[in-house]
Amino acid sequence: MADARRPPEVDRVAASRRAVAARRERAALKKDVAMRVITPQELLRRALAEPESPAGAMRVTEFLTAIPAIGEGKRDRILTDLEISPVKRLGGLGTRQRNALRRFLDERWPELEPRGGRSRLVVLAGPTAVGKGTVAAYIKQHHPEIHLSVSATTRAPRPGEVDGEHYFFVDDAEFDRLVAAGALLEYATVHNKHRYGTPRAPIERVLAEGRTALLEIDLQGARQVRAADPSATLVFLLPPSWDELVHRLVGRGTEDDEERARRLRTAKIELASQGEFDYRVVNDDVARAADEVARLAR
């Protein structure tokens, strides 16, 4: 005779499947915090908004050690200081504990508040393969009031690329001449290969007309724009998750292990620079992300 106290076999199988899925989701969230795809505060917000979600079910110990620079020793001291028991889950924190944890996070990892008085010089940057080009192309098509800068580059045109529309394709001597003449607002060697730069004159003209200029450039270029014009609006495009970025970076699996590891290292470094930006936009959907960038650029 079946034991009435034991759940039927099918229920137990389903429950264990759910547990495995939940564990996987928690692991993905921890990776997102570790790789700085989301802030610890964002994860805490999700946990408190939905205590039954994978974020809510995460133990406070797991949460803290997912944060870069917190090891197990530091974690235990923090929990003692905040008077939070290590067995607590994020979704189960009391009001006083939530506030203490939030205050602690805000002090150590301040979330950038968008600054006022930003200019209409807008830079869109982000890690390699996050989809900057696609978002910029969408903005060009759907927000014609925004001027998308056309860069000069020493790389050869790809099939379908039109000189003067996608890039100004120049040779090394011509690029040198542009640099010497001060004709570039910023320039950089990208991926250790070719040089790319933003022609200054069209940007100055657009800004003088009171319009918005959007630059889709790499991180080195973004830093140069910030140095040249501290009021420039810097937007960082983020992947929806670390796993998704990995997928976009190495998804086709055509690279060898060394190249794969190099790309992931670079992505981690690139993500760590997002604190230098005024706004962060998640590229979860091209049209949505593009509309958000366009709104910020107004």
> Which residue of this chain has its Cβ atom nearest to ligand 5GP in the complex?
221
Return the SS3 of 142: helix
Q: Residues 131-134: contacts with CB within 8 Å, 24+ apart?
A: 131/237, 131/239, 131/248, 131/283, 131/286, 131/289, 132/216, 132/237, 133/216, 134/286
The pairing of strands 146-148 and 151-153 is: unpaired
Tally Cβ neighbours within 10 Å of residue 233: 24
Quote the least distance from Cβ 252 to ligand 5GP, whole Å: 16
Tell me whether residue 32 or residue 218 sits nearer to ligand 5GP (CB atom).
218
Quote the least distance from Cβ 210 to ligand 5GP, whole Å: 23
Quote the least distance from Cβ 279 to ligand 5GP, whole Å: 17
Quote the least distance from Cβ 77 to ligand 5GP, whole Å: 41
Tell me whether residue 38 or residue 152 sits nearer to ligand 5GP (CB atom).
152
d(CA 271, CA 113): 18
Residues near ligand 5GP (CB under 6 A) are: 132, 151, 155, 186, 188, 190, 196-198, 216-218, 220-221
Q: Are 270 and 223 in contact (CB under 8 A)?
A: no
What the block records as the tokens of 99 is: 């506030």
Tell me whether residue 86 or residue 133 sits nearer to ligand 5GP (CB atom).
133
Tell me whether residue 22 or residue 190 sits nearer to ligand 5GP (CB atom).
190
Quote the least distance from Cβ 221 to ligand 5GP, whole Å: 2
Quote the least distance from Cβ 170 to ligand 5GP, whole Å: 12
Q: Are 288 and 169 in contact (CB under 8 A)?
A: no
What the block records as the tokens of 222 is: 């973004």
Tell me whether residue 190 or residue 296 sits nearer to ligand 5GP (CB atom).
190
d(CA 147, CA 215): 9
Tell me whether residue 40 or residue 197 sits nearer to ligand 5GP (CB atom).
197
191: left (phi over 0), alpha (psi -120 to 50) or beta: left
